A and B are shown apart, each in its own frame.
Chain A
């Protein structure tokens, strides 16, 4: 019977051996530990994430040292003092009760190791709270609002809103003011900074900085209900000139005059104009009560004024391609379960009653209609 047990343990060990290289190279063909993956915390691209990664390595080295010394002592003790074949089973080893000097020495030693961690930790806490900005230096501020399940970004100095894609200049500190509209969310852009929570009824602050222009992935890190896993976002760090151009773009209207309800696109260049105009009508009928196409006005849903210039849809879950967009408009419930775009906004005082504002569930859009809306949205660049 014993050999069955040995074979079984052998199989388990073999499985483990196979898993190790696969897990270490997870995802990236080249990178160990998936260190360059989209959300890797070990591939910092800005000073704050770099500081946090460095302190992580400090803790890693300290604990590795402990592992080698304490673990080594443990392994040695287990090996050295094991009961060997032929040992007297009634043997009574010396009944020693302890050694105060050894014990106190170990306490002092471990306290000293903690100081090694504590000092950079304190520096890291200060850095997170106090961005390295010169006095009088102009700093871009962005108001970030968490909604179930998307992100609103407001640029208060310029008076416009965008959604799910944070754009900012590279090489500069950007201050983020974090708020939540409904439940708690958490803003996590791993390559630039650790997370900070968005709390309803409270404003939190954080800052980010990207060393170089780049494209980053972020995700909500606090459980926020049904579609928490689909609450992603993207961030773009642009060079100074590109960012200035982007700012200007965002402040230009993409429709004729949203304030009087004229949602006709300003330009349909290179697009099917008739389809886009049909789409505009459908948009007014089905979408406009929640989605603003005026970047100066934020309503209950993500602002779509410059939708055509974004790289992702559905809060970072899908790439911004026409096929994905049509699917998203037709089946928001399948892309994001529990989504208000499908079921409508519930009445906060009677959440099980009829919705305050109806969703697409009752609109019965056809595929052709969804395509028209998509065509319209792509004119908003």
Chain B
């Protein structure tokens, strides 16, 4: 492999690939994916510790391990962290790393925008969690219902950390989604039609559309709340003519699609893993893809089922109830097809397969309880009780987290070129599976016997003691299992045995390249002739085998690195801190700064200036890029590109 440097842009761009500069300026989708994963796993542990503190407080009735206020901060931060900082970015890590490989692309469509997504994720995550260090973690719930978030009821700055953190995280999600949609629609390898796309890539596409349609409402809601708190507007302020119900509608028209944003990538991963370890194609591929898209559509039409108790009236309540029931059909279709995939196969119980099978069981149970509270009369009793907590942890841990752990075990060899110990993985799976069920199954009983959620304590005579005690024991086992998986990931990064290109005898395109993939992913341009291309390459007919096009004399055109995504997000970070501390004494920020109030000109305006400057320089630095030439042995069997065509992109 040889490198030839060509600079197209106005400014000299950073060239160093390694070290701190290489990391801070990277635009490589694989490095960005790994960075997302590291961040997400870190926040998963943070959110997990918060969960364990919650469970320890509830272990016994009238416990005083933590105060009511601290407890309220814990569940707020636990929910916010797990949804926005653990599950979403872990999905994004897979989108980033795997999806371009699955479509045979060199990188995503907008590599610098991808870097911006990463830095905004980190900036948002840091801002949300900084609140702990100012003794001001938000205590409003992850849903932040107005008017509890108004200055009058919540005078401190915790809610501001939450608003600004989520706002910046929204930028990260949107930047990523536009990128993924463009990549999937425009950068597929020749012959890779939409109905040949791996299901994980399909779900990446659907999820990305959900994100770009669902985030605008929450962005508006957060902006309105920020104006209510800082600049005297009355969007949600009742005496001023505002309506608290407006917040609920805006929040849930984001919040319900968000639920599918969390689960669709998981379904995509499962739909990849089950065929591999059954050694059969996915049963009913078109229906699985179609039902994923239907779930995405219907996901926007059911938000008010979170609001059945707010007095919607007969018509709206019935409409949202029946639409919610409908959504169980495409979800059921997926489960049927997964069973169909297993049927007639030869099932291998590797660690990823165990997580995938565990996913089907747990997600099915979570789906059943979901059907229960799609019925408003049933929901009237279950809403805001522990039954609901049981339900959504079955779909979010038993669903999303199981699938993401499955994805980690499945794609770890591809990402690092190393194997994780399968026997150890199985022990951790059973630990997690048993701990999870012990923690969350008793919550069904708690909910039906009337224990409301978001309560930091309960009376001993309510009859909730034993179930809460065992739930805490289960949570500790679950926490142990998750921590063990994270440790195993770290250990295997350094000590894992080499895996080779395709250790699972897997089916999709990412397994065609080396492990870990080279900077340019594929030395050749793959020409796709079948859905499960890598499987067909090995077992299929000659006409279904993959073609290869060499990059030609031109070489492979790679994107240049850049500082500006980082600069833009640092500007947003400063500006965000400026809004959070707006009107606070300076010494709140740093003890030696004195008592005068922080105005918008101290941090918000300079921060926005840095952001705008970064965007300006970003635009001016030009497209850049350089060419790489793969080793000849990578190109064995590849044909030269046709005269005049511009190969290698």
Question: Which residues of A are interface residues toward B (Cβ below 8 A)?
Answer: 2, 5, 8-9, 12-13, 15-16, 19, 22-28, 33-35, 37-42, 49, 51-53, 55-56, 59-60, 62-63, 66-67, 70-71, 73-74, 77-78, 81-83, 87, 91-99, 102-103, 106-107, 110-111, 114, 117-118, 120-122, 124-129, 148, 182-184, 186, 188, 190, 193-197, 199-202, 204-205, 217, 219-230, 317, 337-338, 346, 348-349, 351-352
Interface size class of B (residues with CB under 8 A): 35 or more
Q: Are B284 and A197 in contact (CB under 8 A)?
A: no
Chain A nearest CB, measured from B311 CB (Å): 4
A26-B445, A226-B69 known; A125-B309 Cβ under 8 A:
no
Chain B nearest CB, measured from A30 CB (Å): 11
Determine the chain A residues whose CB is within 8 A of the CB of B438 once the complex forms: 15-16, 19
Determine the chain A residues whose CB is within 8 A of the CB of B101 once the complex forms: none
Q: Are B339 and A73 in contact (CB under 8 A)?
A: yes
Q: Are A37 and B452 in contact (CB under 8 A)?
A: no
Residue of B375, B458, B469 with highest tally of chain A CB at under 10 A? B375
Of B171-179, B325-333, B628-636, the one with at least 4 CB within 8 A of chain A: B325-333
Q: How far, in whole Å, are A74 and B364 apart by their CA atoms in the complex?
A: 11
Interface residues of B in 301-349 (CB under 8 A from A): 309-311, 313-314, 317-318, 321-322, 325-326, 328-329, 332-333, 335-337, 339-340, 342-349
Cross-chain contact of B463 among A26, A49, A52 (Cβ < 8 A): A26
A38-B462, A129-B313 known; A81-B345 Cβ under 8 A:
yes
Q: Are A197 and B466 in contact (CB under 8 A)?
A: no
Interface residues of B in 412-470 (CB under 8 A from A): 423, 426-427, 430-431, 434-435, 437-438, 441-442, 445-446, 448-459, 461-467, 469-470
Determine the chain B residues whose CB is within 8 A of the CB of A66 once the complex forms: 368
Q: How far, in whole Å, are A227 and B245 apart by their CA atoms in the complex?
A: 22
Q: How far, in whole Å, are A67 and B423 apart by their CA atoms in the complex?
A: 30
Q: How far, in whole Å, are A124 and B321 apart by their CA atoms in the complex?
A: 12
Determine the chain A residues whose CB is within 8 A of the CB of B445 once the complex forms: 23-24, 26, 33-34
B473 proximal to A (CB < 8 A): yes
Identify the closest chain A residue to B238 (Cβ). A201
Identify the closest chain A residue to B447 (Cβ). A41
Of B104-112, B120-128, B273-281, B613-621, the one with at least 4 CB within 8 A of chain A: B273-281
Bitwise interface map of B from 358 to 388 toward A, beta carbon under 8 Å scored 1, else 0? 0011001100110110111111111111000
Determine the chain B residues whose CB is within 8 A of the CB of A56 once the complex forms: 372, 378, 381
Cross-chain contact of B346 among A8, A87, A200 (Cβ < 8 A): A87
B133 proximal to A (CB < 8 A): no
Determine the chain A residues whose CB is within 8 A of the CB of B69 once the complex forms: 226, 337-338
B591 proximal to A (CB < 8 A): no
Q: How far, in whole Å, are A24 and B449 apart by their CA atoms in the complex?
A: 11
Q: Name 20 A/B residue pairs within 8 A (Cβ), A-sorted.
A: A5-B423, A12-B431, A12-B434, A23-B442, A26-B467, A38-B450, A39-B449, A52-B378, A71-B364, A74-B364, A93-B344, A99-B284, A103-B336, A110-B332, A188-B450, A201-B243, A202-B243, A204-B310, A223-B145, A338-B69
A98-B340, A121-B375, A194-B379 are known contacts; what are 6 more A-B pairs with Cβ within 8 Å? A34-B449, A74-B339, A114-B325, A125-B314, A219-B450, A223-B454
Q: How far, in whole Å, are A351 and B155 apart by their CA atoms in the complex?
A: 6
Q: Are B466 and A37 in contact (CB under 8 A)?
A: no
Q: How far, in whole Å, are A12 and B458 apart by their CA atoms in the complex?
A: 27
Q: Are A111 and B329 in contact (CB under 8 A)?
A: yes
Q: How far, in whole Å, are A183 and B434 apart by their CA atoms in the complex?
A: 39
Residue of B337, B377, B378 with highest tally of chain A CB at under 10 A? B377
Q: How far, in whole Å, are A190 and B338 apart by their CA atoms in the complex?
A: 39
Identify the closest chain B residue to A318 (Cβ). B459
Q: Are A23 and B466 in contact (CB under 8 A)?
A: yes
B151 proximal to A (CB < 8 A): yes
Cross-chain contact of B347 among A2, A83, A95 (Cβ < 8 A): A83
Q: Are B147 and A183 in contact (CB under 8 A)?
A: yes
Q: Are B336 and A106 in contact (CB under 8 A)?
A: yes
Q: Are B376 and A121 in contact (CB under 8 A)?
A: yes
Question: Which residues of B are interface residues toward A (Cβ below 8 A)?
Answer: 67-69, 72, 139, 141, 145, 147-148, 151-153, 155-156, 238, 242-245, 278-281, 283-287, 309-311, 313-314, 317-318, 321-322, 325-326, 328-329, 332-333, 335-337, 339-340, 342-349, 357, 360-361, 364-365, 368-369, 371-372, 374-385, 423, 426-427, 430-431, 434-435, 437-438, 441-442, 445-446, 448-459, 461-467, 469-470, 473-474, 477, 539
A12-B434, A184-B145, A337-B67 known; A121-B452 Cβ under 8 A:
no
Q: How far, in whole Å, are A13 and B431 apart by their CA atoms in the complex?
A: 10
Chain A nearest CB, measured from B21 CB (Å): 44
Determine the chain B residues whose CB is within 8 A of the CB of A95 once the complex forms: 280-281
Determine the chain A residues whose CB is within 8 A of the CB of B313 once the complex forms: 129
Chain B nearest CB, measured from A187 CB (Å): 9
Q: Are A114 and B377 in contact (CB under 8 A)?
A: no
Determine the chain B residues whose CB is within 8 A of the CB of A221 once the complex forms: 309, 383-385, 452
Q: Are A184 and B278 in contact (CB under 8 A)?
A: no
Q: How far, in whole Å, are A83 and B348 apart by their CA atoms in the complex?
A: 6
Q: Are A352 and B155 in contact (CB under 8 A)?
A: yes
Cross-chain contact of B377 among A70, A83, A103, A124 (Cβ < 8 A): A124
Determine the chain A residues whose CB is within 8 A of the CB of B426 once the complex forms: 5
Q: Are B381 and A71 in contact (CB under 8 A)?
A: no
A201-B243, A352-B155 known; A98-B287 Cβ under 8 A:
yes
